[in-house]
Amino acid sequence: MIKVVLCGYGQMGKLLHAAISKRCDMETVMIVDSTNVKELYLRCPKVDLIIDFSHPYMLSLMQDYVKTSGCALLSGTTGYDGDQLHVLKQLSHQTRVMYSANYSLGIAVLLQAVKNITPILKNTFDMEIVELHHRHKQDAPSGTALSIKEAMDPHHQYSSVYGRYALNESREKEIGIHAVRGGNAAGEHHVLYLGDDETLELKHTANSRNIFVQGALTCAKWLMKQPNGYYTMEQMIKGE
């Protein structure tokens, strides 16, 4: 039985809690947020795994507990800055850490496709990313859109243009990223390769947040079997 602490109790936290309650191999022993994180040390001196779908500021509140307890950490929180991503990687020296901005298997496959397609088309096609999410999503662009951009441009040779307005000069080496917010859309991502007289589009649509829940729990089971280190969904689907 994997003893789990859920960090954050928003839409994803509630869905994760419900899903874990139906399993026989995991149990939620505590739900934490910024108001009760100090109680974690008293109530749960030893747990196996923290699943964090909360807010970037929670990482600073959780990192000491992860260090001292040695529990694994699976994070799906988006909006981390460079320093916070560095903290995740530093924690992986002491325990098992997995981070993904999107725990959909389809998105993991999409990222692999982008890595394969971009080197072939990047010199003759323009590249754009468009993402759509519900009205309550706080960060823009989405973490998934930024992951797509990273897959397109791992060596950071292209500048990012966030939306377009006013008069645009002729484009150089750039990738456009556009965020749309409204309704209750779970998530939609379009990757566009725009050439002369032809367009290639890759699209992923999340019809329900349950795909992220099931993906995260599948990754959690896999993560618990790994040695200390920093892991991604790409490594899991490749069996590395």
Same domain, 216 and 170: no
Same domain membership, residue 128 and residue 90: no
Residues 198 and 228 in one domain: no
Q: Which residues are catalytic?
A: 133, 137
pLDDT of residue 237: 83
Chunked mean pLDDT (size 10), the chain, 240 residues? 94 94 95 87 86 94 91 94 95 96 91 96 97 90 93 95 78 92 92 98 93 94 96 83
Q: How high is the pLDDT of residue 101?
A: 86
Same domain? 58 vs 14 = yes
State the pLDDT at residue 14.
Answer: 95
Residue range(s) defining the domain that contains residue 57 = 2-99+210-238
CATH number, domain with residue 109 = 3.30.360.10
Do both 90 and 141 map to the same domain? no
148 shares a domain with 69: no
Do both 90 and 174 map to the same domain?
no
Long-range contacts of 223-226 (CB under 8 A, 24+ apart): 223/49, 223/72, 223/74, 223/96, 223/98, 224/2, 224/48, 224/49, 224/72, 224/96, 226/96
Q: Are residues 61 and 112 in the same domain?
A: no
Residues 202 and 214 in one domain: no
In terms of domains, do 221 and 139 share one? no
Q: Cα–Cα distance between 216 and 233 in angstroms, integer?
A: 9
Q: What is the predicted pLDDT for the residue at 17?
A: 97
CATH number of the domain within which 87 lies: 3.40.50.720
34 has which bridge partners?
none
Residues 8 and 44 in one domain: yes
Residues 215 and 148 placed together within one structural domain of the fold? no
